[in-house]
Amino acid sequence: MIRRLIKKVFGKASASARAGDPRILQLDAHGIQREQIHPCALKTTRALNAAGYSAFVVGGAVRDLLLGREPKDFDVATNATPEEVRQVFRRSRLIGRRFQIVHVYCGADTIEVTTFRAAAADKDAEREAEEGDDSRVTAADGMLLRDNVFGSQAEDAERRDFTVNALYYDPEKQEIWEWHGGVEDAKSKVLRIIGDPIQRFREDPVRMLRAARFAAKLDFHIDPATRAPIADLAPMLGRIPSSRLFDEMMKLLLSGHAERGVRQLRAEGLHHGILPMLDAILDNTERQKFLHAALHDTDERVRQGHSASPAFMLACLLWFDMRAEWRRNQANGQSDQTALYDAMDAVLERQRDALAFPRRFDGTIKEIWSLQSRFEQRNGARPFRLLSHPRFRAGYDFLLIRVKGGDAEAELTDWWRRFPDASDSEREAMLIKPQPGEAKSKRRKRGPRKPSGEAVIETKIG
């Protein structure tokens, strides 16, 4: 009661006093020069400064620069409200309902500007919630449902997840402001949550996944106190909307550090909610080898600056499930084609219950899968038709991974590597003429088949 009264009277001041003062590091202590800041971010902080507001580059960009890495994007944090930010930049837009941010545009570039905000799922917030002030609401178990109140810079730092993510860089003065020892932690490669680990993970269980992702991406180790409660709290991920889990999973898988990320997830016992198929994959040598090849390949691709697609990744993760189902359907007497399509639908539907991945990927996933058997058909007009298939490349890349994972013959990818560039006569010579006797005996075993079927899901897979 008294605490609440004090808070009402002194407002933000009491909270920031509680958080202490920042440590301010000069250029010689951190080495980040303003020239390393994206020109659009620089323009943004300067314009805000000129209008009388404080403005910092914040979050991942400062962390990555400090570690000598190239930042993915530059975010700016300021004490100006979204409306005030809007007034400073002619080319800007208010985004978001839950917590408004402003996009500032320079040419093709966008900088995200957020207003300092406060969000502690403390007892005060819970009581305020009970009394009908719904600007800060927590669920009974401490989960933060909203965090849309503006705050001081100190409060803003306190509500961020890890110490290395709570660094503020002032490009004008070339200073880093920190409240939670992030610079030191960056130097010693420690991922440490800000505040009480149990409380912070309860507020937002996704932070546990972020811990695994950042540890993998930055090659940090998770501070023991931060790590300790994760195993117990992991089931809380079950309460997170599956669309958010899906996004988080994709961030991890397409980060360029998926191999380490997946290992980290499993080590922390975090994969049940986000990659439920992982146990089945990792408990089986054949599947494990394939997944390893898939993750390794995707990481390489991302690191070389190429894109990696969620559909491709999902096709990899679910391949063995689909194949097993396909075989079962065939064993139950379905024709190859029906067996395949039923299996694809069944596996995707099952995953949707667990992960809610968007249907828009289904088409591509199915194409990648169903192309696999077509790579085996190297007679007549079929290879030519396959070559002009819009997903030929993705299908071929998938086949390469199957070869690396020991799930298909290297001879097959060698053939397909040569075929597209071969001359007409070379191609003619490459075509593989089926032995009539062979084909017949296979058919007899499998029973009748529609003559027009997109033919032969080959025995190798089927």
Residues that bind ligand ATP (CB under 6 A): 59-60, 72, 75, 160-161, 165-166, 204, 206-207
Smallest distance from Mg ion to CB 169, Å: 14
451, with CB counted inside 10 A (0-12, 13-18, 19+), is exposed
Minimum CB separation from ligand ATP for residue 423, in Å? 47
Residue nearest to ligand ATP (CB): 60
Q: How far is the CB of 75 from ligand ATP (least distance, A)?
A: 6
Mention every residue, 6+ apart, whose C-beta is less than 8 A from residue 115.
77, 78, 79, 80, 81, 82, 85, 100, 101, 150
For the bound state, the minimum distance from the C-beta of residue 47 to ligand ATP, rounded and expressed in Å, comes to 21
Q: Which is nearer to ligand ATP, 102 or 206 (CB)?
A: 206
Report the residue number, 60 or 261, with the smaller CB distance to Mg ion: 60
**Of the two residues 62 and 368, which places its CB atom closer to Mg ion in the complex?**
62
217's CB contacts (< 8 A; 6+ apart) are: 255, 256, 257, 260, 261
Spot the catalytic one: 64, 75, 185, 336. 75
Measured from the CB atom, is 169 or 375 closer to ligand ATP? 169
Q: Indicate which of ligand ATP, Mg ion, none lies near residue 204 (CB less than 5 to 8 Å, by partner kind).
A: ligand ATP
Q: How many CB atoms lie within 10 A of CB 345?
A: 14
- DSSP β-bridge partners for residue 77: 56, 114
Judged by beta carbon distances under 5 to 8 A according to partner kind, the member of Mg ion, ligand ATP, none in contact with residue 206 is: ligand ATP
The item of ligand ATP, Mg ion, none sharing an interface with residue 444, based on CB under 5 to 8 Å by kind, is none
Q: Is 73 a catalytic residue?
A: yes
Which residue, 23 or 427, has its beta carbon nearer to ligand ATP?
Answer: 23
Q: Give the H or E element holding residue 77.
A: strand 75-78
Cα angle value 150/152/154 (rounded, 5°) = 130
Nearest residue (CB) to Mg ion, 60 versus 229: 60
- Identify the sign of the CA torsion 179, 182, 188, 190: positive
* Binds 258: which of Mg ion, ligand ATP, none (CB < 5-8 Å by kind): none
Which own/partner contact pairs does 98-106 have at CB distance under 8 Å and 24+ positions apart? 98/146, 98/148, 99/147, 99/148, 104/40, 104/44, 104/76, 106/39, 106/40, 106/43, 106/44
* Selected catalytic residue, list 64, 147, 156, 161: 161
Number of H helices, E strands in the chain: 26, 12
Give the nearer residue to ligand ATP in terms of CB position, either 204 or 321.
Answer: 204
424/430 Cα distance (integer angstroms): 10
Phi/psi of residue 103, nearest 5 degrees: -95, 125
- Given the DSSP bridges, would you call strands 221-222 and 190-191 parallel, antiparallel or unpaired? parallel
> Nearest to residue 353, comparing CAs of 277, 420, 279, 293?
277
Judge whether 247 counts as a catalytic residue. Answer: no
Closest residue by beta carbon to Mg ion: 60
Closest distance of CB 296 from ligand ATP, Å: 20
The CB-of-110 to Mg ion minimum distance in angstroms stands at 12
Instruction: CB nearer to ligand ATP: give 71 or 405.
Output: 71
| Residue 161: contacted member of Mg ion, ligand ATP, none (CB under 5 to 8 Å, by partner type) | ligand ATP
Q: How far apart are CA 90 and CA 54, in angstroms?
A: 19
Q: How far is the CB of 63 from Mg ion (least distance, A)?
A: 9
161 flagged as catalytic? yes
Residue 402: C-alpha distances to residues 292, 326, 399, 413 (Å):
11, 17, 5, 10
For the bound state, the minimum distance from the C-beta of residue 197 to ligand ATP, rounded and expressed in Å, comes to 13
Of 73, 109, 124, 362, which is the active-site residue? 73
Q: Is 149 helix (H, G, I), strand (E, B) or coil?
A: strand
Residues 393-413, buried b or exposed e (16+ Cβ, 10 A)? ebbbbbbbbbbbbebbeeebb
Chain contacts with Mg ion (rule: CB under 5 A): 60
Report the side by side order of strands in the sheet with 101-106: 23-25, 175-178, 167-170, 55-58, 75-78, 109-115, 101-106, 92-95
Q: How many CB atoms lie within 10 A of CB 195?
A: 16
Which sequence positions are flagged as catalytic? 73, 75, 161
